[in-house]
A = this chain, B = another copy of it.
Amino acid sequence: MSGFFVHPQGICETAEVGEGTRIWAFAHVLSGARIGRNCNICDGVFVEDDVSIGDDVTVKCGVQLWSGVRLGNRVFVGPNATFTNDKHPRSKQRPPAYARTIVGDGASIGANATILPGVRIGVDAMIGAGAVVTRDVPARAAVVGNPGRVTGYAGAVELDDASANSLPQDYGPSLIRLDTHAEARGRLYVADEGVIPFTPRRFFLVDKVPVGEARGSHAHHVSQQFIVAVSGQVVVAMDDGRRAYSVRLSHPGIGVYLPPLIWSMQFGHSVDAVLLVLASEPYDKSKYISDYSEFCSIVSRAGGD
């Protein structure tokens, strides 16, 4: 290869570096590493041999990329962010194989964040500064804290159930209010036939979701869904590939309707959260879309003309 820059006080022992990439002072890239085009490898970065880095990646100062790390395209790694590749490190004891840590296209890892071994970080995820990521991160999830908790869906407009009217009229998903009766003897929430736009053929309940966990992160080819927080609170993110919204549901009188081909993630469960999900179709694993990039190309084709 050719056309890449190495600072006089940087060390680059590999030739697998793409055009336009710059490697700065006190950085050290070992033989065997592969780096794409137009990357920026800043001062003091250390790259081991079994590492691959996509195109247009930024790695800020003080970062090490250990054997087993795979960075997609357009990944950002903030200063002093720290990767790992051995779950139970002991000096002079090498694990049979190094854990593989995979960072999806477009993801950002905040300054001084810590990434536990073997974690997969989804496409376009946003890891906050100082976060300690202990488990896989779904596509576009925003994660902060120690241990890291999902607290948002990157790029989504945030609504609560009092601002239900803010969802655009031409948007597929919608918020549906149930008929609510507050009586002296209790509250009643009714969905007579027709209130939700499909006949439920399947339902399930979800509770005891640990604080900071996310669920969902898939779309359906055919099934419609209706989600309501029958107890506690939850945030439902929805995304048609162009516009994303997240809605905090906080009482049983309002729910989210999701048509097919909407990517959805649920997070922000309160301790007492119980979710009811009604679905229009029986369970069929083959009708799920579980890869966000695949989802994006499907809806992009669908929306084209």
Q: How far is the CA of A83 from the CA of B42 in the complex (A)?
A: 15
Inter-chain contact B205/A230, CB cutoff 8 Å: yes
Question: Contact mask A15-49 → B, CB, 8 Å, 1/0?
Answer: 00000000001101000000000100011101000
- 7 closest cross-chain pairs (CB), A and B: A130-B132, A186-B209, A114-B130, A231-B231, A82-B112, A76-B91, A190-B204
Inter-chain contact B116/A114, CB cutoff 8 Å: no
Q: Is A178 among interface residues, defined by CB-CB distance under 8 A?
A: yes
Q: Which residues of B contact A121 (CB under 8 A)?
A: none
Q: Is A238 among interface residues, defined by CB-CB distance under 8 A?
A: no
Q: Which residues of B contact A110 (CB under 8 A)?
A: 84, 89
Q: Is A163 among interface residues, defined by CB-CB distance under 8 A?
A: no
Q: How far is the CA of A232 from the CA of B272 in the complex (A)?
A: 10
Residue of B nearest to A76 (CB): B91
Q: Is A51 among interface residues, defined by CB-CB distance under 8 A?
A: no
* Residue with the highest number of chain B CB atoms closer than 10 Å, among A61, A91, A92, A206: A91
Q: Chain A: how many interface residues by the 8 Å CB criterion?
A: 87
- Chain A residues engaging chain B, CB cutoff 8 angstroms: 9, 11, 25-26, 28, 38, 42-44, 46, 56-58, 60-62, 64, 66, 74-76, 78-80, 82-84, 88-92, 106, 108, 110-112, 114, 116, 126, 129-130, 132, 144-147, 154, 178, 184-194, 199-210, 213-215, 228, 230-232, 252, 269, 272, 274, 276, 278, 282-283
Q: Which residues of B contact A210 (CB under 8 A)?
A: 184-186
CB proximity of A87 to chain B, nearest CB, Å: 9
Interface majority SS (helix, strand, loop, mixed), chain A: loop
Q: Which residues of B contact A200 (CB under 8 A)?
A: 199-200, 203, 278
- Sampled A-B contacts (28; CB under 8 Å): A25-B26, A46-B61, A46-B62, A60-B64, A62-B62, A64-B79, A74-B91, A76-B89, A80-B82, A88-B154, A89-B110, A91-B108, A112-B112, A129-B132, A145-B147, A146-B146, A186-B208, A186-B209, A186-B210, A186-B215, A187-B207, A189-B205, A189-B207, A193-B202, A200-B278, A231-B232, A231-B274, A274-B274
